[in-house]
Structure formats: C-alpha cells, structure tokens
Structure 1
Amino acid sequence: MAPGLPTAMDRPHFIGIGGAGMSGIAKILAQRGAKVAGSDAKESATAEALRALGATVHIGHAAEHLADDASCVVVSSAIRQDNPELARAAELGIPVVHRSDALAALMAGLRPIAVAGTHGKTTTTSMLAVSLSELGLDPSYAIGGDLDAPGSNALHGEGEIFVAEADESDRSFHKYAPEVAIVLNVELDHHANYASMDEIYESFETFAGKIVPGGTLVINADHEGARELTRRLAGSVRTVTYGEAEDADVRVLSVVAQGLKSEVTVVLDGTELVFTVSVPGRHYAHNAVAALAAGVALGIPAGELAPALASYTGVKRRLQLKGEVAGVQVIDSYAHHPTEMTADLEAMRAAAGDARILVVFQPHLFSRTQELGKEMGQSLSLADASLVLDIYPAREDPIPGITSELIIEAARAAGADVTPVHDKAEVPSVVAGMTKPGDLVLTMGAGDVTDLGPQILDRLSK
C-alpha cells in the first residue's frame, strides 16, 4: 500500500464515481495504491480514465455493485438516501464517508492550499496546479474540472503541496485545514442550502477559522462580499488581500487584453511585476493574481511563479474552444450564475472585437433560477442573440411555476434577442440557421448543454 493512503480507504466504493469531485478523489486513491470501485449513472470518458488506473466502474446503481469487502462507501451530497448501494452499505455495516472527509484525509501530512469562493474556484485551482508543476514542485491536486494540460482533474504528486478546490455549496469545505486558503468572492448561491447572506458569511468564517496556525488567508480586495468577510474576521487570521483596490496588499495596476491573452501588472512587496495570463478575461487575470499571492504565502518566489502561470492554458468548459467550422467558432462556458455569465460574455466581447456572439444557455437548478432568473436574463443582454433551453434539474425536483420563461422575460425586458428552445435536439439546426462566418457561439451552463458543441459543429459542416 502506498505511503499516505488511509487504511480505511484502501478498498473504497464511490457512488457517483464519474462526478467531477468524486472522480478526482478516486483517481488519487487509485494512484496511491487503493483498490478503487464505484458506480455512475452513465458511461463516460471519466469512467474509462478511472478504469485505466485500475478502478472497477459499474454503470447504473445496484446493490450487487457494492463488494462485501469494501472498506468504505464514499458519497457526495447529491446521493439520495434511497440509493440501493447506500442501503446495501447499511446492511453490511460498511462505513459511509462524505467526499469532503475523504479529500481531507488525502491532504493529511501535506501543505494544502484550499481555493474557495462563489466563482472561479476551478480556474484558480488549475492555475496553481499547472504553475507549481511547471516549477517542478510536483503537487497533488483535486479540481472540479479537467485541465487542458496536464489533462486530468486530479493527480497524486510526490511533492509536499496539495491544491484543492474547496466547495462551499454544502459546507463541506469546513472539513479542510489548509496552510493557505483563498477566498475569491462571496455571494449568495446554492439557495437550497443557504437562506441568507448571513448564513453564507458564517460559513466562510468557519472555513477561514480552519486555517492552520501561522497560515494565510488570501482574499479579494475588490469584491464587496469578500471585503465584508475580511471585516468580520477582524484580524483573527493572517490576511493578504489582492485586487485593484488602493489598499490591496497585492495590487493589480493593469490588465491589458492581448487577443486571447492578458498582460497583468501587479505590485507585490513594493516590487512591480509583469506577467502573461494565457486565457482571455479580466476575471481570469484576477484569478491568476490570487494564485500568485497564495504561492508566495507558501514561500514560492514571485519572480519564479509569475512566469510559470503563463503555462496555464485553460480548463475544459471554461471558455474552451470546441472548434471552428465555416468561419463560426464554438466555445463552451460553464457559467451558470449571473456574475459568471456576465464575466464570460464581457471577456468574449473584449477578445472578439466586432464579432457577433450567440449564446445557447441552459439554466442550472430550479432553486437558482427562482432566485436569480431575472439577473440571468439581464446577463444575456450582453449577447447579440440567445437561445434559452429548459432548466437542467441536476439533483433537484421541479418547483411549481419556475421555468426558463422567468429568464426569457427578464432578458427581453433588458432588450435582449431571446428565443426559447424546448427540444435540445433542435438547437444545432436553429444555430446553423442564425449564424454566419465570423460569429461566435457560446454553449453556456453547468448541465449537459456542453454536449451540444460538437453537434453544432457537425451541423455547420453540412
């Protein structure tokens, strides 16, 4: 058994092993020598990647998929109590472990950097993973999305640093004890779990309180929610702020767009530093500055880390170019919260010049649409035209009266050109009829709208 592998997880069974967070933990355990098994609702490239590491992956959920000798069953908050494998675990007396506890166990004995915030976690975690790898530090990492390079959402490295995306949605980030924590922003989201901003602040305060003695909180100086959190913490933890605000410890002097890249100038410890971020958008440049500040807090020289950040070329689904056919580029965006939608559309505007932008948007979750549907519609006014699909339910049951029409009405009230499409299969043909050479098409949302990119490209080729 590989060093650092918790004995209780030497034969883990993952329910929902194909999920972004779950698969990452499963990969690291497999790389550390565990006998990994699990199940997922459907076949996927992730399932194949896990099998290549020696894991047993079943498709569909059934009691017989759980081996009698499993050392534990790993679940996320998305797993329902009536899952047959969960019921079988109870019959057999096999311990059930939340994925956050499993991830916390994997970080034990290492130097964790935990990246939190309502938006930007995956990108910032990825920037750190790639740049630290570029410097030869061989970090372990667990990310909520697949990197363009090195091509995975997780890795067991031989170095002492562990970079992890810290999920606030179900308060599971309270399980971690990072040496360095990043808070990118603080907004109300995940409405099924948080009733107010006060609850959100309390949750982030708890997270900050888990930083190990002598550790550091890196936090946004430009975002009002993050500034309020800083005020509430009132010096209870060593804090390094970053951003364009005059009082930021790591101050951003400029972000200059250069096509699909940005040149960023910061002042850190009185020294001016200029470096390149190889993805478009001001928000991504700020994510890179957060990563820089976190690395410096861990003792990595800024002059080495800053140029290494340029080696980050993106994460799948974060403004990822899927292809170009007939002069039309198709780009995939994971944005599903109005702040993210606005940021990605503004980044595309800055990079695309006079090109027309067409968005295919799929709302994610009934609860989020209920609370933020108006703001989603307003974000879509930044596009030249939009198609809006039905709500992707994910783990939720429908809420009476909550449909995509809430977004469509708000978008039209904001002057947007919006067309509802209830049958996802019709989208490629509708897009083909609307586009002309030079246009950009964004498939946007956290659900299966991502599947439409290749279909749109295929239709455009005919």
Structure 2
Amino acid sequence: MINDQSGTAAPRPYTPPTLAQLGRVHFIGMGGAGMSAIARIMLGQGVPVSGSDARASAGLAELGALGAVVHLGHEGANVAAVDTIVVSTAIRADNPELVAARSAGLRILHRSQALAAAMAEDRVVAVAGTHGKTTTTSMITVMLRGAGVDASFAVGGTVQALGVNAAHGTADVFVAEADESDASFLNYSPRIAVVTNLEADHLDHYGTAEAVFAAFESFTALLPADGVLVACADDPGSARLAVLAAAAGTRTVTYGFADGADIHIVAGTGTGLDTDTTLAIPGVLLGPGAADTAVPLHLQVPGAHNIRNAAAAVAVALELGVDVHRATEALATFNGAARRFELKGEGRGVRVFDDYAHHPTEVTAALKAARTVAGGHKVHVLFQPHLFSRTREFAAEFARALDLADTVAVLDIYPAREDPIPGVSSTLITDALSVPIGYAPEPAAAMAALVGAAQSGDIILTVGAGDVTAHGPALVAALNAAPGNQAAANPVPGNQARNTPGTGANGGTPSGGTRG
C-alpha cells in the first residue's frame, strides 16, 4: 500500500484515486491524530466518512458531530456498507475489519494515500524532516491563515491557535506534515517540499542511515519542474540534500544561522517564552525590484530550533506570494502545537511543560529551550524512552542530551508497536547519566522525586512520545498539594532498582501523535 521506494532516487509518482472514486470511506483506528486529520478533511470535502476505534475519545466525538459514523470496537460488520478502507501502519493484518475488507475486495489505502487523494487538486506544501515537522507545519498554517490565505492543513498534533489538527480551507493550498517513518511521504506530490533536518531515525524500518537519506532523495525527486526545495542550511543532512537536489536541477532555498543561507538568521535572543530575531532576505526572494531586507521577527515560542522553523515558514510564504511583513506579523501570533513545549500548568511557582521529543536531537533542543525559559533556575525532566529499537540505537546520545538537565527521572520504555528486545531497557540510558535521579520505573515515585527537587522558578518537563504526557497534570496537582519546598516523602534513590526493568505501561500508540 505504501509507495516505499526508499532505496531509489527516482520514485514513481503515486496517482491517487479521485474523491468521487473513493465513495464511502471507512477509517480503521479513526481516533489517532493522523487518521482523524484526514477524516476531518474528507468530511469538509463532502466525502461520506465512517470509522472505528477501540475506545471513545473527544476526537471521535468531534468527528461524529461533523457527520462521521463512529463505531466503538472493531467488527467486520462495520465495513459492510463502505467502498474504501483507510489504514495506518499500526493496524495489524488480523484486524477483523481489515480481514472483512480484503474478503470483500474493497479498495484499501494507507493513510498517506488517502491524504494524497484529499490534496490532489491543491498546491501542496509538504513538510518533512526527522524533527520539527509538526511545529513547522503548524507555523506555516497559522502564518498563511493569518495572512489571508485560507489553506487546508493536516498536522500530527493540534494547532493551539486553531484548536484542531486539520481543516479544509477555501484556498488552493494544502499544508501537510509528511511522515517519513515508514516512507509513506513518497505517496505525496508536493509543489513545495520543506526539509527541516535529516538524520538517522526509524532504523527499524530503514535499517541504515543511508537508506533514510535515500528516502529523502526520493521525496525531493517528486518535485515538479517548477517546484522548490526549502532546506535547513544548519543541518548537515538537509544541507547535503539541498546540494544534491540543486545539482539535479531542482530549485532550492536554504535557511538558517549558517553563512550563505538564502534566508539568513542574523541574530536571535530569547527571554522566557518569547524570542526576537532578524532575518536577512535577498531581494530576489522578496520579488521584482526589492532590495536586500532585514526583516524583524517576534515569536511566542522559545529556542533556536523554533527560529529555524519560522524561517522555513517565511520561505514558504515568499514562494506562495505572501508579503513578508504580513507573514511575520502572522507568525508572531503562533503559540505552539500540542505536546511541543506545551505549558500544562503551574504550582508552587514551578511551571510544568510537556514535549513530544523522542530522538536525542529533539531532547537536546527541548532542554536548551527549557534553559532559556527557566533563566537562572533549574530544569527537571521526566523522560520516557519510546521504542526498544530507538533506545538500543541511541542510548548514549539520549544520556548526553538529558545531562543538560539538573535532575532526570527515566521511566520504562514505551513499547508502542514493538515487542521487547532482550537486554534493552531504560538502564542503557541511565547507566550513562551524570545527573540524578536516574532509573525510575514507578511513575508515582518519579514524580514525587521531581516535585521534591523543584523550587520556585524551576521547570519540570515531561518528555517522550508515549503516555508520559499524562503525568503533566498530575505533576501540577502534586506541586499545588506539596507544602513549600519540602522534599518529597519517597524520593527515587540514585540509579537503583535496575535488575528488573519493565517494558512500559502498555503496548498501544497514544492518539496524541502519529510519528514513530
């Protein structure tokens, strides 16, 4: 179902069915962020939609209110009156609805193929990269809509300023997060391709770092003759991709702090959650007759990585003919995406944030941003590794990233789609940590230790792509219940209790995200 040509640099473009050909569309696992986004888009396009999920959720209720037929539980009878089935990689082959669909000879699409069908009539801005896709896609969407372009969009998390993760707009522009985790981004036909960065990840699918790079080469090769690659000059993988794409005849626009970037970030300063910077943009990008211009930019989100994300958004605005000043004014209203350094609350003068970071580079960026927000105060982290394979590959890198904090409690691995791997546990990370607290298999004890360590002005950050996000509100409640700065009654001692690490809370993938 996936146009997986990750070992080639000359992909065969995927031709999706038309919306009329899809008929009645059923989503198996409709409650997930990626699936619900496409269902919402198709409902806005007038497509009859139904779907199922194992449990009720606010997202399913919203889709039901928009006209979708919602089934709780998976049963073959749910697909009796539909024409097309949409699945994600997470749906197992023995799912009763999928089995029934195959038996009936129904059209079965991967969610990326369904999204390709929904985007087929639009100019597509596809945002790819190992990190930063959700935030950058959200920034571009908020920017365009704020500048008067009612773009359609599909994002792997809720855009806080808009309150949803997808919508069908009236403009002929579609902004989509392009997931590389299973090479399904090769099913898209972008007019503008944004690559925020490119490094090894999802090796359970690709096997090697070079195979990851080859998939991105194939992705950029999908651009038409009048298309453009927007690439980060600060990231070695993205910069290398831009050089190769340009050599192959693809027009490229680069951005970043690096000298020579087409959109050059001149400076950046941050205080708390606010960031101010200046972008040096050559006249050739601003339009006929324009001179080189220093464009000021104010953001409500912290970190150098978010300055880069905003520079990418500005590059997209210029490609779509949006005035640069209208674009930056709209970007100043962007206040984040769900689970991307999201403020969960405050207690006893301690703020609690939640971040989806699940790769060492993302953890490093989140902790550097936390340092900016905390000022001279301390940063405490509750970290949950995501996937056994990723922990095995990057344990040492995770430890180096987490050492940027003052205290770190590391939970058991969240397995998501994987079975345990012998010898792989969170202690691969905590054995290499230099900061306290270390391995903390019991969430309650881990939270008690962090609450006991935190003082007024400090930050507690929950980090990971699993269900660690659920502990943010509990930390806020515990802070508000704790007297003064009294140490917790049951702090987690050092790096102990390592003999029998568990495998995480459960084996599902939380509905708050789509990435691997």
TM range (shorter): over 0.9
Q: For 1:93-127, what per-residue CA distance to the aligned partner results, in whole angstroms no more than 9, with x for missing partners?
A: 21110111111111111111000000000000000
Counterpart of 1:422 in structure 2 is: 441
Counterpart of 2:267 in structure 1 is: 254
CA distance in 1, matches of 2:333, 2:174: 19
Q: For 1:128-163, what per-residue CA distance to the aligned partner results, in whole angstroms no more than 9, with x for missing partners?
A: 111111112110000011011110100000111100
Residue 39, structure 1, aligned to residue 52, structure 2:
yes
TM-score, length of structure 1 as denominator length: 0.95
Counterpart of 2:12 in structure 1 is: none
Contact 2:230-2:252 within 8 A present in 1 as well: yes
Q: How has the CA–CA distance of structure 1 residues 143 and 352 changed in structure 2, closer, same or farther, with 3 Å as cutoff?
A: same
Counterpart of 1:97 in structure 2 is: 109
Alignment-mate amino acid for residue 284 of structure 1: N
Alignment-mate amino acid for residue 308 of structure 1: A
Pairing of 1:236-247 with structure 2 (within 5 A): 236-247=249-260
Pairing of 1:407-446 with structure 2 (within 5 A): 407-411=429-433, 415-446=434-465
Alignment-mate amino acid for residue 146 of structure 1: T
Counterpart of 2:139 in structure 1 is: 127
Contact 1:142-1:165 within 8 A present in 2 as well: yes
CA distance in 2, matches of 1:461, 1:89: 51
Residue 402, structure 1, aligned to residue 463, structure 2:
no
Task: Select 1:300's aligned residue among 315, 322, 327.
Answer: 322
* Structure 1 vs Structure 2 CA RMSD: 1.5
Contact 1:5-1:32 within 8 A present in 2 as well: no
Residue 345, structure 1, aligned to residue 367, structure 2:
yes
Residue 19, structure 1, aligned to residue 17, structure 2:
no
* Number of positions where the alignment pairs a residue of Structure 1 with one of Structure 2: 455
Pairing of 1:154-233 with structure 2 (within 5 A): 154-233=166-245
Alignment-mate amino acid for residue 436 of structure 1: Q
Counterpart of 2:96 in structure 1 is: 84
Counterpart of 2:403 in structure 1 is: 381
Q: How has the CA–CA distance of structure 1 residues 274 and 24 changed in structure 2, closer, same or farther, with 3 Å as cutoff?
A: same
Higher mean displacement: 281-290 or 48-57: 48-57
Task: Select 1:60's aligned residue among 73, 79, 96.
Answer: 73
Q: For 1:40-88, what per-residue CA distance to the aligned partner results, in whole angstroms no more than 9, with x for missing partners?
A: 2332222222222122222332323x23121111011111111111111
CA distance in 2, matches of 1:431, 1:226: 37
Pairing of 1:296-375 with structure 2 (within 5 A): 296-375=318-397
Q: How has the CA–CA distance of structure 1 residues 433 and 351 changed in structure 2, closer, same or farther, with 3 Å as cutoff?
A: closer
Per the TM alignment, residue 459 of structure 1 is displaced from its structure 2 partner at its CA by: 2.2
CA distance in 1, matches of 2:127, 2:451: 39
Counterpart of 1:150 in structure 2 is: 162
Residue 139, structure 1, aligned to residue 151, structure 2:
yes
Q: Secondary structure of the residue that 2:422 maps to in structure 1?
A: coil
Higher mean displacement: 246-255 or 430-439: 430-439
Contact 1:115-1:121 within 8 A present in 2 as well: yes
Q: For 1:380-417, what per-residue CA distance to the aligned partner results, in whole angstroms no more than 9, with x for missing partners?
A: 10111011011111111111111101011122xxx221
Structure 1 gaps, min length 5: none
CA distance in 2, matches of 1:405, 1:49: 41
Residue 392, structure 1, aligned to residue 414, structure 2:
yes
Contact 1:177-1:210 within 8 A present in 2 as well: yes
Contact 2:374-2:457 within 8 A present in 1 as well: no
Per the TM alignment, residue 300 of structure 1 is displaced from its structure 2 partner at its CA by: 1.7
Task: Select 1:449's aligned residue among 465, 468, 478.
Answer: 468
Per the TM alignment, residue 426 of structure 1 is displaced from its structure 2 partner at its CA by: 4.0
CA distance in 2, matches of 1:10, 1:335: 38
TM-score, length of structure 2 as denominator length: 0.86
Contact 2:203-2:209 within 8 A present in 1 as well: no
Contact 2:139-2:331 within 8 A present in 1 as well: yes
